[in-house]
Amino acid sequence: LAPLKQPWRSPGEPQAPFSLPAPRWPVECEVIQETIEHIEWAPPKPEPFCPPMGPEQALCTLGEDQGTVVYHSSPVLQGSCFTCARVGGAPGPLSSPAAPLEGPQDTTLLFESRFESGNLQKAIKAGPYEYVLMLRPDLYTAKHTQWFYFRVQNTRQEPLYRFTIANMAKPKSLYGQGLRPLFYSQQDAQSHGIGWRRVGTDVSYYRGGAGEPPLFRLSWTVRFPHDGDTCFFAAGYPYTYSDLGRYLRALAADPARSRYCTVQALCHSLAGNTVPLLTITGPGGTAGKRAVVLSARVHPGESGSSWAMRGFLDFLLSPHEDAQLLRRLFVFKVVPMLNPDGVVVGNSRCSLAGRDPNRAYGKALPGSFPGVWHLQAMVQRELAEREVVLYCDFHGHSRKNNVFMYGCDGSGDGTGTRLRQRVFPLMLSKNAPDKFSFSSCKFQVQKSKERTGRVSMQRLGVSHSYTLEVAFSGSTLGGRSSHFSVEDLESLGRLLCDTLLDFCDPEPTKLQQCLVEADALLQRRMGRGPGSGGSWSEVSPSELESSTSGSDSSVSDG
């Protein structure tokens, strides 16, 4: 159970090519043989939010118990917990969860979700072109229904289809503020090079009934672009474990980028999937350098965090002069996919332990939460050798627009420390004024968040520890009111690099300006006049900010 170690390899020294093996699935999960891949594409212009419908406008939809079940895929759980895994999932022939078509005139859609990161448990045909859908809860739990990703075939171009996901878990969602689902047409991809795009009209999000616990409904209407097409819907831009494997293989095959990057296994997950660790630094090894630690995808349904992480890695490993300076100054330890099992099976929040790994820091056992345990152990080893100047854990947020951060503010901290905690997010807001909202940042540590990554790293001794939250939707800043594209998400990684250079600049002008501005913002929040002075060390964190919703897990996290 000791952390996996590997001797430091000097830059330029050959290394054995690293590659992630094929994903391993719990043996009760059926997996189709087809490989699901999508092209990358940037929309020619920003995709605007749609006018949301209120609950009173939502079209009347039949319930789950009415209509005809046309797809039902539910793994037969062998007991209440994970037992074992294998490549390809369940052995033997696959079942047929989709109802067979009665002939060429049958317009019933054919659903499928038994592929990597897929999530759809049941589809009910409630009308000629209307379907009620049920998501599969996170494996070995009965909750956390949010992420969806499924395929439909046998489409017709003319009709207006309506889909309703009837078991969403959260009372509030950005779907009620203009967020639209993602859609992918295989014919459009092959013929026109068009990839994932936002679709849907009459999008509504509302409570579905009086039951307990309450469930919520997401409904949208759409027209398919072609007859007989193969299409996909998803909650976010999918980024699978296999996508990460392809990225790491390309990195290992690139002689320029691989000079600065060593890839090794941090550990293996419960299912035996590799949790990769990237060590990135410039010539001269690690002596005398400070460390920066980043992680992503502890919550598998927050796929935007993987695209932001890819943008960070692309920039840091580029020949750009700022990237060269960062590699010269720091040792970067990067865990791009902390919960690969959850990503593979299409969970929203949990690992195969049936729990949220981002509530397991400090108490995690390596046999139950190996990624969290080994990440924490790795940071402890780094702290024994050097200062870790920054930890940042990349997440996604389903209820608030824009990009923002959560930090760690203790009431016992001195004024300088508390202001400095706010400087990095404030700098990032200046570097990304059309994406990052400093006013949405929170620094109070609620009791329910004490086992999160950022709080645990701060208590280990990391001087600046944050959660980076990227909205599932997009930005309302800088004149925007539009969804984030993949390019937007990747740009966050570059902007984080820019901010790190500003934050650690030996010329203190920018830092001092931001300290003064952070102090003025707090004075204004407390109702004090500008320049009134006074210490912040005796003011409680709750007084410094309103107790609005914190991280995305406060709802439905038991």
User: What φ, ψ does residue 271 adopt, rounded to 5°?
Assistant: -80, -5
Do the beta carbons of residue 427 and residue 411 sit within 8 Å? no
Residue 239: name the closest of 304, 168, 327, 285 by CA: 304
Amino acid at 12: G
Give the separation between CA 544 and CA 328, rounded to whole angstroms.
37
Q: How far is Cα 209 from Cα 223, in angstroms, rounded to an integer?
A: 28
Q: Is residue 308 within 8 Å of residue 489, measured between CB atoms?
A: yes
Catalytic residue among 30, 112, 469, 490: 469
Rounded Cα distance, 100 and 150, in Å: 18
- Output the six-digit token pair for 262: 């060593």
Beta strand spans in 230-382 (E): 231-234, 261-268, 274-280, 290-296, 330-335
Residue 243's Cβ-side half-sphere holds a number of Cα atoms within 13 Å equal to 21
Q: Which residues pair with 207 in a beta bridge?
A: 216
Which residues are CB-neighbours of 105 under 8 A, at least 6 positions away? none
**How far is 557 from 277, CA to CA, in rounded Å?**
28
Is the peptide bond prior to 213 cis by the omega test (within 30 degrees of 0)?
A: yes
Beta strands of 456-542 (E only): which ranges? 465-471, 474-475, 482-483
Task: State how far the Cα of 140 lies from the Cα of 351, in Å rounded to an integer.
Answer: 9
- Cβ neighbors of 276 (< 8 A, separation 6 or more) are 18, 20, 244, 248, 263, 264, 265, 266, 335, 336, 337
Sole residue written with tokens 């430091």: 8
**Phi and psi (nearest 5°) for 368?**
-105, -40
Edge-to-edge, what's the strand order for the sheet holding 216-222? 68-72, 122-127, 130-134, 161-168, 216-222, 201-207
Please state, as a whole number, how many other Cβ atoms lie within 10 Å of the Cβ of residue 255: 9
* 221: β partners: 162, 201
Radius of gyration (C-alpha) of the chain in whole angstroms: 24
Angle at 331 between CA 328 and CA 333, to 5 degrees: 145
Active site residue 116: no
For the chain, give the longest Cα–Cα distance. 79
Residue with tokens 């990095």: 424
User: Cα separation of 272 and 294, whole Å?
Assistant: 22
Contacts of 447 (CB under 8 A, 6+ apart): none
Q: Which residues are catalytic?
A: 469
